[in-house]
Chain A
Amino acid sequence: MMFKRLQRDDRRRVRITVAGIDVEAREGDTVAAALVASGLDVRRKTAVSGAPRLPYCMMGVCFDCLVTIDGIGNRQGCLVPVAEGMQIEIQQGKREIGR
């Protein structure tokens, strides 16, 4: 576990699923932050060599947080706020055609 949440955090809970697993995020989290905080193995694989990566810059610059959100691939997870019921898939290599 690389990160922990504040002890006092009154923000509303938001439920999302990550590769089918229920994860509790908080309102105001970005998808990338929720993934990093989840404690799950959320490493994506790069399109070029298949190397594992996690988010790097968290400000929309590096594209290492690319993720499939509600069926749409190559979204920048650090720019998308979590929403109730959101379904996240970790990308294995390049984006699949049609999603």
Chain B
Amino acid sequence: MAQHDSGGNGPALQTDRLGRRYGRVWGLRDCTLEIPAGAVAGLVGPNGAGKTTLLEMIIGLLEPTEGEVSIFGEASHAYHAATLARVGYVAQDHPLYRDFTVGDMFHLGRSMNPGWDQGLADARMGALGIPVKRKVKQLSGGQRAQVSLTMALAKRAPLLVLDEPVSSLDPVARQEFMREVTSAAAETGLTVIISSHVVSELERLCDWLIVLAGGHVQVAGPADDLIAQHRMGFEELVMSYLSEEAVTR
């Protein structure tokens, strides 16, 4: 498998003046970013800031209007198999086919992904106590989130993208989900990008911070450096960039 060999010291993700326009409105503009391999990057911003737009362009679900994305040094193109295969994606609200069993979902993953790791999927379900014969519609929200995460991990892609993964979960499920993400990132050296509008969730998880507001990147960099530089806490720091007068549009 080639999933982690391109890690090295090069950046996992680079975007160059990335922009996406919806009709006359720019959903995101001038987004230039670099995330090092192995980082767990938190993407923070209010609703409508352009987080989902950015993430969908990164994973190849959306064609940029301008600019470019590259993952581990290779250019990404929307709708290309090679781009899609490089990223594991957990979409908001964890879409799964309701009348499929968990096993069916994994069968789908296996038949649509060349690098699929069935052993990993089965082991995770065993550890979490989710029966693979159960139908998706009989699972709790937390279990559905775990199945979605497992599908993204079993794809064995070097970059994992999570779009508001816990916003629909109760506090216990949130904590469990975040714990799983942390341990997966630590074990495999995955690069993770996780978006949220709830800042406190990201504090423990992330070592890299991107603040997005008004369709523009307000700040991006290593979380520790930013905190040291500004002499304030994580949440306070984020808020200072999101306050009305600070936002550049």
Do A and B interact? no
Name B's A-contacting residues (CB within 8 A): none
Name A's B-contacting residues (CB within 8 A): none
